[in-house]
Structure 1
Amino acid sequence: MRIGELSRRTGVSVPTVKYYVREGLLPAGRLSSPNQASYDASHERRLRLIRALMDVGGLSVAGIRDVLDAVDDAERPVHKVLGEAADRLAARRTGEPDAEWESARDTVAELVGRRGWRVGPAGPQTEALVGALAALRRVGHEGFEMLLDDYADAAERIAEADLGYVARNSKRDALVESAVVGTVLGDAILSALRRLAHVDASARAFGEAQGGADRDGAPGGEGAAEGE
């Protein structure tokens, strides 16, 4: 297919497709004439993956390039590719360490040891968890840490489900891509499901006592106001 058809199929503009090629995210098309290139289904699939990583996963062009480089490296173990994608999603630490940060680091180290997790002591994901707990401490909600093991239980079940999906693929390229998709887009799915569950739990706990839920399932809202 020509670049115009690739653009129509994916909804990505021609200039953007060319930009991704220049940036090394998308392989160049096969030259069919001195000024024409043809693209195939592999280009369409890669382009859709790029857009998903960017639009849903929130990765930058540089982050996507690093992830795709890992995906395309046939010598890199799948575990390392999965780690690359996870590292790109982890929040980066900002600011200088303070008492809350150091205390949160101790809490995370205890959690990791208690769970027997085989993870690095100072990787981006660990630092992201430390940062989140430190922020909770700063706003006076350190009691939330009582839920850490409950969260860890749920996280382990989700991780097992993710890797079960990945293991369905026997070919390395499909396996690696599913690992990346499961890591990056799975986070978006999990976040959305959590919020939906929150709305449902809130409606069940408080909705009926306050006159029912609104059209989105949350207690109160426009529907309640109109009935007053």
Structure 2
Amino acid sequence: MFSGSDASSVAAADSVVVIGLGRFGRALALELMANGTEVLGVDLDESIVQEMNGQLTHVVSADSTREEVLQQLAVPEFDRVVVAIGSDIQASILTTSLLLRFNVAHVWAKAVSDAHGTILEQLGVSHVIYPEKEMGRRVAHLVRGSMQDYLEIGDNFSLVKMAPPAAIIGKTLGESRVRSTAGVTVTAVRPLGGTWTYTDEKTIIAADDTILVSGPTNKAEAFSLRR
């Protein structure tokens, strides 16, 4: 039987509670574990808990909408909790409300719709996640251009991994004047078979290089479309 004392032993600085072990919550929890973070996983479905047993630091089948259950699991002692419940909006809202009442320092909550996200924000959640919506936007940008990877890191500002446009191949970045002509910055380069290094004005871009570009999303996308 999983006890509150077991959970207390996990609630260290580098530990996270993940509530809801569906596809998103499971992937998140396993990635955290792979990077050395201890994880307490919570899900109402006993079959999921059995499947995840041994893959997380601790995993338990429990109803996260009940205050006494979260208290028993020592969830208030953690300062980082992710609510990854997607199939039951009411459970997501009730669980999140309890975490905020516990004054958990950092709460991330998955939203399955704009309305769901609005409610979470109104409750006071500072980190509302839209996995499907954000992935859809990301893939849309990848489909349109020659981007190999894309990450939006703020309002209208992105990092893009891409092959270099023909116009800058064989030139130094100083000669190609990418920042002044395209409004983006080539921040790093990786030669074929090599490793990433920072760039400067003397960096010469080769045809088989991969480059990392930062800048306003629309300009980064336009740069990726150059041939």
Report if TM-score (shorter chain) is over 0.5.
no
**TM class, shorter-length:** under 0.3
TM-score if structure 2 supplies the norm length? 0.26
Task: Compute the TM-score of the two structures, normalised by the length of structure 1.
Answer: 0.26
Q: Which has the higher strand share?
A: 2
Structure with the bigger percentage of helix: 1
